[in-house]
């Protein structure tokens, strides 16, 4: 039987506000337990929520960025359930009237195919605290610092048909929320998390199969693995005559398996109702216009422009626009050096490689876009070769100053004086008479050998073009 | 509308309230009486009426995104039943 | 002596230096000690703090920067969170809860320099109309110790009626200020929803709860409102609207005032003995030049069923935070998480609170939400619209506060529905969010009868004016229960 996979994602993006969604406590990561949980976050008797203006603005910004309908009238609702990390016994979320409705995003797969994925809704809600399972005499410790942190839950349509599509969609959202500066995208700290609803159905069947919800997957790699392993499990189960049950499952990365979460197995009745402590959020056109004005150039538009303006390939432009800071870095280097393609190669090559190696963000790159551009200019005007440039770049990375200073200090300036090159060529031919004879007898493959010898003799500084030309002249003469 | 013992138990579980078995029939009967009172609502047709969640037709006021709270953990935890190392302790949570 | 003075009179005496706040405070503390065992109106008496506040108030008066309430003793309903003081809400669940913060209303009284004598008894989590559901025992009506004082602000009502405090705060979700004021011969005002901050007031039903003053006279209520009312940025439902001086319009003439009498408030359920003093009050208003208009609030009959969906639904969620984890009662040796929740809540809540949580949980649960909750919200609009139409014709609405006088203790506690029906005239006002008052209007069966006045949104000044005019012509409000003169 041919199976079709159906995937929908629920992404939780933590919004980059200063304070919590309903209180004035800080949301900074890594504080001592419960030092950032104020009376409102703790749900003490009598406290009341007041909505953070930035959370609303960021949600609206997201809605506008995906061309969705940003609701003029949205309502907060209580989702009631008991759990120790949920202080009030209910989570303030949005149910019937979310702030963002019906948008879509285009994803691009590795083979270049493009596909539209629907975004059903995005709503504001508060995060819960954390249960720490280290053993406190057989008890669990509760830290409520995270309780009340603003989240935007972005719910997709069940439009994805493979783990690859799911990852592409997740990456796209991940890139977008950082672009529009509403989420830092830090998956290790839990600022960007994902639940995946996965089901399978016989190819051609209209109705969806029963889905399992995979909870809290916190890396792109795990999303792919978790979905694939879950799909495998479901297909095997059905083919062996079993049925999939609707349940919440946890992905165990160590064992590469998903397992049922017993504690959440019980059918929940969340008893949603409008939160009487909060009034409807009303946004008008003028407000949305001001938010719209703060939207930066979005990734897709930027990519198309890079292709047009700098003559980049679609793939390169895609890589360079995945991250807004990287795109800005590239664009500055390209502008200042007037060598866009060279800049693109360097940014995707050496720059990215060293950043990865040192686990740095582009914003912390020791070689600024200005410095990179300075070096690219020296390649363009033949002061240094591409090979020497790597040495210059590494020196700049280590803090030895800009390209000109490094070239000067280390004497890396390319030899372009033809008499000096002629002397080098003559010397190498004289030292290798046998090879010179063979070359003259027709073994032209030896050209590379001679170039290599000359470059070695010049410590890499001889202009390769001039060396080639001179060699040909001498050996064929 | 009347509730039987099973329904009362189910609701009590949802509300996480322990009720002794001996008290269940009493709750079933008083709750059923309350629901009879409540069922008077069906006398009025409300098909075209907009539900009213709130007495005022006001909209939500928004708070400036400023950190105004400082650490008061010791104070807040002085009223807590069980804490250790700044954490609230509960019976083991199994996931 | 001092206990027979009104708040306004005591304020004047303090300002004139005829008595110090410390003397006055000590006087009332002594009176509480001597008399409260008869009526059980206080849960906590905060003697030490009260005397410290009184001392500070005397210094402030001496320095010449006192306000009307500086140095005046009063009692605070135990529903308000008071820093460093037990804030129990009448429940075993919060018996050990020493609040780490002050409610906004409490801060406002502190800023005004008023002296809190203690925290008054109340129905558990404000759920009740007789003050019999308190963990701290029932409160007795000073007019007849066998009878209930009404609820949920029964402790506040009994304390002021017995002259143990010149005034007290109350809260009103379905009549909890007006009904006990009526049953204990007091003047009580439930302001417009959103007029007084709910921050720090332990929530029963968030869309209905509203705090207000309980005192002997409308003038005293006006003085208290001047302190209690006002916008609070910590409460999203607080209204950003200027607070008038509530004493400014007390003496406006009421000639030409249009008073509406809803026929639904004078129907079969009303005790004819209670109807008599109300009719006399209507006659008096007529004499004073008011115009009486017959009106109808056709949907008000459904206010009790609607209320018993909306209020329990909200309370079932509001009380979920009482889980034995961060504060409040926790059961001994919980064997697992579910046991912790179920036993802590099972032990911490009393029967009526459990009943309402269960009804609310049921009304919100899957499959019943539309039939109960949404249906109730729709009827709520119809009830509210009735008032809107009425206020196109009249300035205030008048009727009885309660269909009966105070009933015997134990009489209705086994029959919740009959208890709920004692709030039949007050509940619609909360559903609509309007301001309402109860004013002493005479006696029936030797027990006090209250006159209810309902105003349009934010027309508290008008209500106080209408009540004050009546109190200038009558002396019901001056009558003191025998044994407490």
Note whether B88 contacts A142, CB cutoff 8 Å: yes
A380's enclosing H/E stretch is: helix A369-380
Based on the domain organization, do A48 and A191 belong to the same domain? yes
**What ipTM was reported for this prediction?**
0.97
Residue B79 pLDDT > 80: yes
> Chain B contacts of C93, Cβ < 8 Å?
none
Give CA C267 to chain center in angstroms: 25
> Per-residue b/e over B7-36, b at no fewer than 16 CB within 10 Å?
ebebbbbbbbbbbeeeebeebbebbebbbe
Q: Residue C162's pLDDT is what?
A: 98
Query: Out of B34, B41, B56, whose CB is closest to C376?
Result: B41
Chain A: give the shortest CA distance to residue C209, in Å.
11
Q: Sorting pLDDT into bands at 50, 70 and 90, what band is A382?
A: confident
Give CA B73 to chain center in angstroms: 26
Note whether A277 contacts C206, CB cutoff 8 Å: yes
Q: Residue B81's pLDDT is what?
A: 97
Domain range for A404: 297-410
Chain B: give the shortest CA distance to residue A175, in Å.
24
Note whether A279 contacts C361, CB cutoff 8 Å: no
Q: What is the mean pLDDT of residues B38-46?
A: 95
Q: Residue A265's pLDDT is what?
A: 45
| Per annotation, catalytic residue among C44, C176, C238, C422 | C176
Note whether A50 contacts C235, CB cutoff 8 Å: yes
Based on the domain organization, do A206 and A316 belong to the same domain? no
Q: What is the mean pLDDT of residues A43-53?
A: 98
Q: Give the number of domains in chain A.
A: 3
Task: Report the 10 Å Cβ neighbour count for B91.
Answer: 18
**Mutate: best of B69, B72, B80, partner A, most A CBs <10 A:** B69
Residue A412 pLDDT > 60: yes
Based on the domain organization, do A107 and A205 belong to the same domain? yes
Average pLDDT, chain A: 92
Neighbours of chain C (3+ CB pairs under 8 A): A, B
Task: Say whether C152 is catalytic.
Answer: yes
> Chain C contacts of B75, Cβ < 8 Å?
100
Chain B residues in contact with chain A using a Cβ-Cβ cutoff of 8 Å: 14, 16, 53-54, 56, 58-69, 71-73, 76-77, 82, 84-95
Q: Residue A193's pLDDT is what?
A: 94
Q: Sorting pLDDT into bands at 50, 70 and 90, what band is A446?
A: confident
Q: What is the mean pLDDT of residues A417-421?
A: 80
Neighbours of chain B (3+ CB pairs under 8 A): A, C
Residue A73's alpha-carbon distances to A22, A56, A94, C374, C436, in angstroms, are 18, 12, 12, 19, 31
Chain A: give the shortest CA distance to residue C336, in Å.
9
A196's enclosing H/E stretch is: strand A192-202
Based on the domain organization, do A390 and A439 belong to the same domain? no
Q: Are C211 and C198 in contact (CB under 8 A)?
A: yes
Query: How many angstroms separate the CA atoms of C153 and C161, rounded?
Result: 12
Fold of B5-42: Histone, subunit A (1.10.20)
Strand A257-260 relative to strand A281-282, pairing: unpaired
Based on the domain organization, do A272 and A312 belong to the same domain? no
Based on the domain organization, do A266 and A400 belong to the same domain? no
- pTM of the model as a whole: 0.92
| Per annotation, catalytic residue among C20, C35, C77, C91 | C77
Note whether B92 contacts A140, CB cutoff 8 Å: yes
Based on the domain organization, do A435 and A400 belong to the same domain? no
Task: Say whether C182 is catalytic.
Answer: no
Task: Say whether C77 is catalytic.
Answer: yes
Q: What is the mean pLDDT of residues A364-388?
A: 89
> Chain C contacts of A88, Cβ < 8 Å?
320-321
> Chain B contacts of C237, Cβ < 8 Å?
54, 56, 58
Residue B40 pLDDT > 50: yes
Q: Sorting pLDDT into bands at 50, 70 and 90, what band is A474?
A: confident
Q: Residue A370's pLDDT is what?
A: 94
Query: Out of C354, C382, C416, whose CB is closest to B33?
Result: C416
What CATH number has the domain bearing residue A438? Answer: 1.10.10.410
| Per annotation, catalytic residue among C99, C152, C197, C402 | C152
Q: Residue C13's pLDDT is what?
A: 98
Chain B: give the shortest CA distance to residue A270, in Å.
9
Residue A132 pLDDT > 80: yes
- Structure confidence by residue, pLDDT tens digits, A315-335: 899 999 988 999 999 999 999
Query: Out of A33, A140, A264, whose CB is closest to B85?
Result: A33
Q: What is the mean pLDDT of residues A186-205?
A: 94
Q: Residue A426's pLDDT is what?
A: 86
- Structure confidence by residue, pLDDT tens digits, C401-449: 999 999 999 999 888 898 899 899 999 999 999 999 999 999 999 999 9
3-state secondary structure of B39: helix
Residue A355 pLDDT > 70: yes
Based on the domain organization, do A130 and A60 belong to the same domain? yes
Q: What is the mean pLDDT of residues A346-366?
A: 91
Chain B: give the shortest CA distance to residue A186, in Å.
21
The series of mean pLDDT values per 10 residues for chain C, 485 residues long, is 96 97 98 98 98 98 96 98 98 98 98 98 97 97 98 97 98 98 98 98 98 98 98 97 97 96 95 98 98 97 96 98 98 96 98 97 95 97 98 98 97 89 95 98 98 98 98 98 95
Note whether A48 contacts C199, CB cutoff 8 Å: yes
Q: Are A191 and A184 in contact (CB under 8 A)?
A: yes
Q: What is the mean pLDDT of residues B31-43?
A: 95
Domain C2-251: which CATH class? alpha beta
Q: Residue C466's pLDDT is what?
A: 98
Task: Report the 10 Å Cβ neighbour count for A220.
Answer: 16
Chain B: give the shortest CA distance to residue A171, in Å.
28
Query: Out of B38, B55, B82, whose CB is closest to C308?
Result: B38
């Amino acid at each position: 039987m041919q199976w079709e996979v159906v995937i929908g994602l629920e992404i939780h993006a933590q919004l980059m506000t200063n304070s919590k969604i309903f209180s004035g406590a800080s949301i900074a990561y890594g504080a001592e337990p419960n030092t950032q949980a104020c009376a409102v976050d703790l749900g003490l008797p009598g406290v009341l929520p007041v909505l953070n203006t930035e959370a609303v603005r960021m949600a609206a910004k997201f809605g506008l960025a995906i061309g969705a309908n940003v609701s003029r009238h949205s309502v907060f609702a209580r989702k009631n359930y008991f759990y120790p990390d949920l202080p009030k016994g209910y989570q303030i979320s949005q149910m019937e009237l979310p702030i963002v409705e019906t948008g879509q995003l285009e994803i691009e797969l590795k083979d270049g195919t493009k596909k539209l994925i629907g975004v059903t809704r995005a709503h504001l809600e508060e995060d819960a605290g954390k249960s720490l399972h280290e053993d406190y005499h057989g008890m669990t410790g509760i830290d409520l610092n995270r309780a009340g942190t603003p989240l935007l839950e972005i719910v997709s349509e069940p439009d994805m048909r493979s783990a690859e599509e799911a990852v592409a969609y997740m990456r796209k959202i991940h890139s977008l929320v950082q672009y529009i500066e509403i989420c830092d995208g830090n998956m290790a700290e839990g600022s960007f998390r994902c639940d995946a609803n996965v089901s399978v159905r016989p190819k051609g069947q209209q109705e969806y199969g029963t889905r399992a919800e995979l909870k809290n997957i916190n890396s792109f790699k795990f999303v792919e693995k978790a979905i694939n392993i879950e799909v495998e499990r479901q297909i095997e189960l059905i083919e062996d005559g079993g049925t999939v049950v609707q349940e919440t499952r946890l992905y165990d990365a160590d064992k590469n398996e998903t397992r049922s979460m017993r504690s959440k197995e019980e059918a929940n009745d969340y008893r949603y109702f409008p939160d009487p402590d909060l009034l409807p959020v009303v946004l008008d056109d003028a407000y949305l216009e001001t938010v719209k004005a703060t939207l930066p150039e979005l990734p897709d538009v930027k990519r198309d422009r890079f292709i047009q303006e700098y003559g980049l390939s679609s793939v390169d432009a895609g890589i360079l626009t995945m991250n807004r800071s990287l795109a800005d870095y590239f664009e500055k280097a390209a502008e200042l050096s007037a060598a866009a393609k060279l800049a693109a190669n360097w940014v995707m090559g050496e720059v990215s490689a060293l950043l990865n190696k040192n686990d740095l963000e582009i914003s912390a790159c020791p070689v600024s876009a200005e410095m990179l551009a300075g070096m690219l200019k020296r390649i363009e005007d033949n002061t240094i070769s591409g090979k020497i440039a790597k040495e210059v770049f590494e020196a700049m990375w280590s803090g030895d100053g800009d390209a000109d200073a490094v070239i000067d200090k280390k004497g890396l300036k390319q030899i372009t004086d033809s008499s000096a090159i002629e002397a080098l060529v003559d010397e190498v031919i004289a030292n290798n008479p046998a090879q010179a004879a063979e070359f003259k007898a027709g073994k032209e493959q030896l050209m590379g050998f001679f170039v290599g010898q000359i470059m070695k003799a010049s410590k890499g500084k001889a202009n390769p073009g001039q060396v080639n030309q001179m060699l040909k002249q001498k050996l064929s003469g | 509308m009347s509730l039987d013992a099973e329904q009362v138990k189910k609701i009590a579980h949802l509300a996480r309230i322990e009720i002794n078995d001996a008290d269940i029939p009493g709750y079933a009967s008083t709750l059923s009486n309350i629901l009879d009172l409540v069922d008077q609502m069906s006398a009025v047709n409300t098909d075209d009426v907009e539900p009213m969640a709130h007495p005022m037709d006001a909209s939500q006021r928004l708070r400036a995104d400023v950190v105004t709270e400082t650490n008061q953990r010791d104070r807040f935890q002085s009223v807590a039943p069980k804490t250790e190392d700044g954490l609230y302790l509960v019976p083991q949570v199994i996931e | 002596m001092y206990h027979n003075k009104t708040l306004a009179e005591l304020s004047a005496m303090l300002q004139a230096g005829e008595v110090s706040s410390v003397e006055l405070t000590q006087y009332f503390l002594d009176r509480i000690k001597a008399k409260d065992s008869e009526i059980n109106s206080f849960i906590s008496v905060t003697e030490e703090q009260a005397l410290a506040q009184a001392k500070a108030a005397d210094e402030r008066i001496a320095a010449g920067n006192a306000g009307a309430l500086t140095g005046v003793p009063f009692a605070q309903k135990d529903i308000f969170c008071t820093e460093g003081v037990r804030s129990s809400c009448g429940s075993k669940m919060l018996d050990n809860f020493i609040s780490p913060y002050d409610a906004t209303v409490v801060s406002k009284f502190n800023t005004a320099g008023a002296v809190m004598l203690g925290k008054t008894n109340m129905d558990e989590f404000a759920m009740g109309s007789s003050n019999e559901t308190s963990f701290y025992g029932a409160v007795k009506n000073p007019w007849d110790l066998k009878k209930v004082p009404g609820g949920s602000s029964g402790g506040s009502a009994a304390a002021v009626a017995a002259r143990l405090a010149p005034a007290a705060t109350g809260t009103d979700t379905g009549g909890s200020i007006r009904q006990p004021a009526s049953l204990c011969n007091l003047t009580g005002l439930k302001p417009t929803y959103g007029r007084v901050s709910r921050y720090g007031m332990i929530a029963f039903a968030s869309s209905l709860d509203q705090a207000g003053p309980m005192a002997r006279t409308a003038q005293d209520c006006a003085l208290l409102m001047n302190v209690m009312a006002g916008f609070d940025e910590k409460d999203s439902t607080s209204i950003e609207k200027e607070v008038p001086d509530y004493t400014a319009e007390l003496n406006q003439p009421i000639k030409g005032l249009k008073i509406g009498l809803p026929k639904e408030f004078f129907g079969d359920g009303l005790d004819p003995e209670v109807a008599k003093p109300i009719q006399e009050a209507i006659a008096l208003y007529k004499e004073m030049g008011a115009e009486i208009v017959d009106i109808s609030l056709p949907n008000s009959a459904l206010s009790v069923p609607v209320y018993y969906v909306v209020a329990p639904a909200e309370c079932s969620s509001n009380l979920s935070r009482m889980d034995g984890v961060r504060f409040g009662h926790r059961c001994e040796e919980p064997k697992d998480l579910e046991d912790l929740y179920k036993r802590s809540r099972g032990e911490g809540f009393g029967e009526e609170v459990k009943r309402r949580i269960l009804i609310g949980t049921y009304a919100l649960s899957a499959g019943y939400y539309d039939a109960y909750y949404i249906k109730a919200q729709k009827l709520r609009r119809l009830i509210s619209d009735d008032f809107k139409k009425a206020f196109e014709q009249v300035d205030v609405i008048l009727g009885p506060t309660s269909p009966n006088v105070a009933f015997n203790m134990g009489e209705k506690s086994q029959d919740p529905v009959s208890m709920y029906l004692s709030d039949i005239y007050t509940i619609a006002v909360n559903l609509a969010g309007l301001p309402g008052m109860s004013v002493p209007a005479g006696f029936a069966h030797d027990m006090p009868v209250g006159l209810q006045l309902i105003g349009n949104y934010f027309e508290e000044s008008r209500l106080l004016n209408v009540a004050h005019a009546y109190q200038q012509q009558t002396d019901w409000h001056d009558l003191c229960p025998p044994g407490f003169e």
